Amino acid sequence: MIRGVRGAITVKENSETEIIAATEKLLKIMIDENWVEPDAVASVFISVTEDITAAFPAKALRLFAGWDYVPVMCMREIPVPGSLEKCIRVMMHVNSASAQDEIRHIYLEEAVRLRPDLKAGKR
């Protein structure tokens, strides 16, 4: 069964260093919390808000051993007025035996506002 593993994080500034570091932090937690192996991943979509332009966050995934051949795509979020700024969102499509309610979606920094119902310890 393919499951979607979601996550999001915000950055304080539009710099390559911060974008890559924040994305790496988010991906590491998503991978660790859901026991994801690269061979089980069909694809990864990464979206950013309009104010993130200094780097492709997908570069962070290439820092992980074994993730060289996982298809990754970056795209821009819809610029809805009043929406969260400087936000990086990830959707990882993973082959998993886990039930939907067993998947751990990860929201960090200001992105916790996107899904307050999924705070740590809540499912």
Candidates 18, 33, 77, 110; catalytic one: 77
What does the pLDDT read at residue 116? Answer: 80
- DSSP annotation of 82 reads T
Query: Does residue 11 contact residue 22 with C-beta atoms inside 8 Å?
Result: yes
**76 found inside a domain:** yes
What does the pLDDT read at residue 121? Answer: 43
The yes-or-no answer on residue 107 being catalytic is yes
Domain span including residue 100? 2-118
The yes-or-no answer on residue 115 being catalytic is yes
Mean pLDDT of 13-36: 97
**CATH number, position 101:** 3.30.1330.40
Mean pLDDT of 111-115: 90
pTM comes to: 0.93
53-107 pLDDT, tens digit each:
999 999 999 999 999 999 999 999 999 999 999 999 999 999 999 999 999 999 9
Candidates 18, 74, 104, 110; catalytic one: 74
What does the pLDDT read at residue 111? Answer: 94
Structural domains in the chain (count): 1
Name residue, tokens 């994305």: 23
**123 found inside a domain:** no
Candidates 16, 62, 76, 85; catalytic one: 62
The yes-or-no answer on residue 89 being catalytic is yes
